[in-house]
Structure 1
Amino acid sequence: MRRTLTEKDVEPAVRGGSVYAAGGGGWADHGRKLGYAAVGAGAPELVSIDELNDDDWVATAAAIGAPASTTPWEMRGVDYVKAVRMLNEALGTPVSGLIVGQNGKSSTLNGWLPSAILGCKVIDAVGDIRAHPTGDMGSIGMAGSQEQMIQTAVGGNREQNRYIELTVRGATAKVSPILRTASDMSGGFIASARNPLRASYVARNAALGGISMALDLGHAILAAEPKGTAAVIDTIVEQTRGAILIEDVVTKKNVVYTNEAFDVGTVVVGSGDKALTLHVMNEYMAIDDAGGNRIASFPDVITTLSTDAEPLSVGQLEEGMRVHILHVPKSVIPLGAGVLDPAVYPSVEKAMGIELAKYALEPSNA
């Protein structure tokens, strides 16, 4: 599979990525800027991993930070390009392709501009189909590895003198928090290129086809829009093979920004015995019913849709707002090695105060 990405793919990538953003995954306008800049600057090419040689280098293009629009972040398209250039310099050879750690409102498009400018391919693979809070979750199994990795970060609020360039080497779990700290210092959102790995490893451990999934969903959403909101929601449900758990009002929101550049807390939708509690760490990570029973849990896709069928980030939610909650079980999506790695869960469970690993690592029912 090989295709040139064009301006006709930008909006579908943003729309489909917004559903898989799971309440996070960047900003739609940022995604559009990245996409249109990429197709204007060159011809980014989407290819399957088997188009590369086994020993070609593939890195992850990512954006690190929290999505609630509560911080003075600034990230430019050139920052994504500079991050890949810095990684190439540290590696000593150019990477042949880029995957993204996750889908999202902008993160689905993270590799497009470096591809257009530097000539590397956009690989049709992701670390995780849906967005997640930590880089380790999208690291396709490297979180527990002692292998020395390279990670770069570029970006920051220029007016506030927060611009940062950073190249670090070390075991993934040890250096990822450094980039998270850099993100906070830069204003809350920073571009990165990280973890160059051989294409053969990516083929075995990434969630293959993840970019195409977002693009196909986005094209389907756009095709359904002339038929009205109900048709769009039905299309999202059908295309993702998910279900709407509830349509009700946000009755309580308690989410705070931490010094580690995370938005953590809970959102309650509905009331009484029908109330659902969404647990948040940048994205929606779990849902408990009114009795405290877990009914959805990462890496399931959990998304809030407005009454106009717009996927809403955590930062957009307000008490009194009516929303639909979409749930797509992990059994119907490709899973990367990162979300099946026990090493990625302790820090997230500690921050959130809930169990995740036992649900994520139990066998799928599919």
Structure 2
Amino acid sequence: MRELTRDDVFAAVKGGSVFASGGGGWVDHGLEIGHAALSIGRPKLLSVEELPDDAIILTCTAIGAPAGRDWQMLGKDYIRAVQLVIDHYDGKIAGVMTPQNGMSSTINGWLPAAALGLAVIDATGDIRAHPTGKMGSLGLASSIDYETIQAVAGGRPELGSYIELVVKGTPARTSNILRTASDMAGGFIAAARHPLPAKYIKEHAALGGISIALELGQAIIQAEPEGPEAVLKAVVRKTKGKILGRGKVISKNVRYSGAFDIGTIDVEVAKNVFRLHVMNEYMAVDDRSSKRLATFPDVITTIDAATGLPVSVGDVVEGMELAVFAIDKSRIPLSASVKDPTVYPEVEEVLGIDLQSYAFGKEKQNYA
């Protein structure tokens, strides 16, 4: 156990931005929520092994798409979502965790933890960011035996879009309801879900996920004074990832639909063209001949050549010089969430590409 600091806020945002895979929130939001947490309390980071098996852990997150319009998530909304679950749960919550790393999502639970006297658990539902709640649901996405509680809070009162909602039921049904609530609130909303015993987290989560992001962030911060190339090298060295290629963005076709950003981004790399498939985050990369180069749950990130720092899908523009970076799934802890075959079909249908057989059914070529 250790107390989280302001240095950790910066490191979490820097490292989380790599694992954000083009999504995972916003840098400014992550810094704002992280500093707010430290202004009202002293959140502590705990390994799940430090808790008894029956201690209950809650997942804190945000649901939506960065391109959504007229959304608003304030710090109090994260706290309110957790409080709503606490109010409707017949038991005591000991700690909170995040379903994913990201530009702000690494810090998802820090503010509710500080405000409500809970621990921040060093585990993630997925080491990288992902588009659907089911992909961070710790293998429960298709369960009909587990009744979950999920709550959301957020929106703009002045527009009449503020929503508070608590739902109980199967993870699949309730997750779809919350996605609709996010869209109705303007495109993003704070959420809390899935109270689960520590024993289950120990067996199904990506353990140490927060520490991994913090350590990467620290390496980035140390390299920044030496320039963008030094930052890129630090990221590659620390993660054992790979620059798939560098080039100019020649096309961006991403649209907002139902609280998702969906589409493709094409990057001209030497005499080739990489197509990045987007559903909030980068889910796959193909080359001009449709050869698959990386597939979720690989980490896939676009890095601005001018700064050496990750750039989100929403900030990518045509003409930008990018490095396309990936970390193979063999080099990151994998949770039960991404090993669950039921979480893939809806994303595959939206994107019109195969994910699951590349992820776990056959080897990718020319990538290690």
Q: Is the structural similarity TM-score above 0.5?
A: yes
1:174 equivalent to 2:203? Answer no
Kindly report which structure 2 residues correspond to 1:77-226, keeping only aligned pairs within 5 A, or say none: 77-146=75-144, 147-226=146-225
| Partner of residue 346, structure 1 | 345
**Structure 1 regions of 5+ residues with no counterpart?**
none
| Partner of residue 357, structure 1 | 356
| Partner of residue 38, structure 1 | 37
| Partner of residue 261, structure 2 | 263
- Secondary structure of the residue aligned to 1:96 is strand
Distance 1:227 1:75 in 2: 35
Distance 1:21 1:331 in 2: 18
| Partner of residue 75, structure 1 | 73
Contact 2:150 2:192 in 1 (8 A): yes
Deviation at 1:242, TM superposition (A): 0.3
Distance 1:202 1:89 in 2: 22
- C-alpha change, 1:214 and 1:33, in structure 2 (3 Å) is same
Distance 1:61 1:84 in 2: 7
Distance 2:361 2:271 in 1: 27
Deviation at 1:95, TM superposition (A): 1.0
1:303 equivalent to 2:301? Answer yes
Q: Deviations over 1:302-321 (max 9, x none)?
A: 00010211211101011111
- Secondary structure of the residue aligned to 2:353 is coil
Deviation at 1:272, TM superposition (A): 7.7
4+ residue stretches of structure 1 with deviation over 4 A? 363-366
CA RMSD of aligned residues (A): 1.3
Distance 2:158 2:344 in 1: 36
- Secondary structure of the residue aligned to 2:200 is helix
Distance 1:167 1:214 in 2: 31
Q: Which moved more, 1:9-18 or 1:352-361?
A: 352-361
Deviation at 1:144, TM superposition (A): 1.2
| Partner of residue 4, structure 1 | 3
Distance 1:158 1:335 in 2: 39
Q: Using structure 1 for the length normalisation, give the TM-score.
A: 0.97
Deviation at 1:71, TM superposition (A): 1.2
| Partner of residue 27, structure 1 | 26
Q: Deviations over 1:164-190 (max 9, x none)?
A: 000000110111011000001001110
| Partner of residue 52, structure 2 | 53
Contact 1:330 1:364 in 2 (8 A): no
Contact 1:3 1:47 in 2 (8 A): yes
- Secondary structure of the residue aligned to 1:12 is helix
Distance 1:304 1:14 in 2: 16
Contact 1:130 1:299 in 2 (8 A): yes
| Partner of residue 282, structure 1 | 280
Contact 1:60 1:193 in 2 (8 A): yes
Distance 2:140 2:22 in 1: 25
Deviation at 1:240, TM superposition (A): 1.2
Instruction: Give the residue type in structure 2 aligned to 1:165.
Output: E
Q: Using structure 2 for the length normalisation, give the TM-score.
A: 0.96
Q: Deviations over 1:299-355 (max 9, x none)?
A: 000000102112111010111111011110000000010000011011111111111
Instruction: Give the residue type in structure 2 aligned to 1:40.
Output: S
Instruction: Give the residue type in structure 2 aligned to 1:303.
Output: T
Q: Deviations over 1:123-177 (max 9, x none)?
A: 0000111000000000010001111110000111222111000000011011101
Distance 1:45 1:362 in 2: 39
Distance 1:272 1:105 in 2: 29
- Secondary structure of the residue aligned to 1:141 is coil
Distance 1:340 1:359 in 2: 12
| Partner of residue 321, structure 1 | 320
| Partner of residue 17, structure 1 | 16
Q: Which moved more, 1:87-96 or 1:302-311?
A: 87-96
Distance 1:271 1:38 in 2: 42
- Secondary structure of the residue aligned to 1:58 is strand
Contact 1:141 1:205 in 2 (8 A): yes
Contact 1:66 1:261 in 2 (8 A): yes
Deviation at 1:61, TM superposition (A): 0.3
Q: Percent identity?
A: 53
